[in-house]
């Protein structure tokens, strides 16, 4: 399973997330990162990414220890 993080949850993130969700047996979105965490929370809810962790800083995300492959 590839564990993916989405950094930046602006308009283009929808296309990336939809693409990744096309392969539910191969990819899992584990983190969403945006300087406006409320945007990341909205995307999390929109796509039902209940296990994804939201971060407001990519350095915090990387330092958190969460396993990310992509």
CA distance 31 to 66: 8
Q: What pLDDT is stored for residue 63 in this prediction?
A: 97
Q: What pLDDT is stored for residue 10 in this prediction?
A: 92
46-63 pLDDT, tens digit per residue, is 999 999 999 999 999 999
Q: What pLDDT is stored for residue 28 in this prediction?
A: 97
5-56 pLDDT, tens digit per residue, is 999 999 999 999 999 999 999 999 999 999 999 999 999 999 999 999 999 9
Does the reported pTM lie above 0.85? yes
Backbone angles phi, psi at 20, to 5 degrees: -65, -35
């Amino acid at each position: 399973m590839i564990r993916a993080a989405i950094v930046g949850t602006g308009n283009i993130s929808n296309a990336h997330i939809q693409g990744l969700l096309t392969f539910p047996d191969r990819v899992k979105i584990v983190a969403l990162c945006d300087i406006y965490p409320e945007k990341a929370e909205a995307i999390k809810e929109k796509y039902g990414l209940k296990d994804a962790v939201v971060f407001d800083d990519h350095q915090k995300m990387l330092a958190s220890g969460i396993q990310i492959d992509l």
